[in-house]
Amino acid sequence: MEQPHYLRAVTTGTTERGTMRSDAARRRQAIVREARRLFAAEGSDVALETIAEAAGVGIATLYRNFDSRTALADEVALSILDDMQHAADQALGTIATSPETAWAEYVHRLVGLDLGALAAALAEFVADEISGAVRDSQIRTLDGVERLLAAARAEGLVRSDLGALELVLAIGMITRPQPEVIRAATPNLVPQLVSIFLAGMRP
C-alpha cells in the first residue's frame, strides 16, 4: 500500500533533518579531531583556516561550531579528558584479573594521548577561570585516576605517595615536545622514560 503523501512528507523531512544533524555532528567531530592533532604538532597558534581545511570544512563552518579559538580549545581539552576517563575505566575493568598488563597499558595509553604537547599548546587558553565544563571534567577524570591508583596499589604496582595529579603531570613532562636535535639523538627517549617511570612507581 502506498504511503499517503502527507506521511511521506513528514517521514522524509524527519530523515533529512536526522541526516543533517548527523552530518553536522561529524563535521564538528572532524574539526575537534584535527584541531587536537594540529595543536599537538604545531602549537596553539596554528591558523584556524588550516584546521578547517584539515577537517574538510570551510572556515565559516568552523566558526558556526566554535565562535573563538578559546571555545575550540575548550572542546579539545574536553576530548582529551574524555579519552583519559575512558582509559582509566578500561584499566579498572581488567586490573583485577591482569594487573601488570592493565596498568602498563593504561600508562602507555596516557603517553599516546600526547598530553605534554597538548598541555603546552592549550596553556595560553587557561585564564584565571577555566570553563565550568572543563573544570567538572577535570574533577571526574582525576577521580577516575585516583580509583585506578587505589586498585594498582592494592596489586603492589604503585607506591603510596603517588597521587592522580602527580601521575598525570609526570606523563605530561615525559611527553613534552623536545627539540629536533634531541629527538634525532635519542629516538627511543619516550619509551625509555616510560619504562623507567613504570619501574620507579613501584613500592
Instruction: Note every long-range contact of 150-156, with CB atoms under 8 Å and residues 24 or more positions apart, other chains counting.
Output: 151/92, 151/95, 151/96, 152/95, 152/99, 152/103, 153/203, 155/95, 155/99, 155/103, 156/202, 156/203
Per-residue pLDDT at 91: 98
Q: Are residues 173 and 84 in the same domain?
A: yes
CATH code for the domain of 30: 1.10.10
Residue that terminates a domain, selected from 18, 38, 67: 67
How much is the pLDDT for 72? 94
Containing structural domain, residue 149: 69-203
Walk along the chain (203 residues) in steps of 10 and give the mean pLDDT of each run: 50 51 92 96 92 97 94 94 97 97 96 89 67 91 97 96 94 87 85 93 93
pLDDT, residue 6, reads 46
How high is the pLDDT of residue 167? 95
pLDDT at 127: 54
Whole-structure pTM value: 0.83
For residues 110 and 164, state if they share a domain.
yes
Same domain, 108 and 200: yes
For residues 54 and 72, the answer to whether their CB atoms sit within 8 Å is: no
In a shared domain, residues 38 and 86: no
- Domain end (from 18, 37, 67): 67
Count of the separate structural domains present in the chain: 2
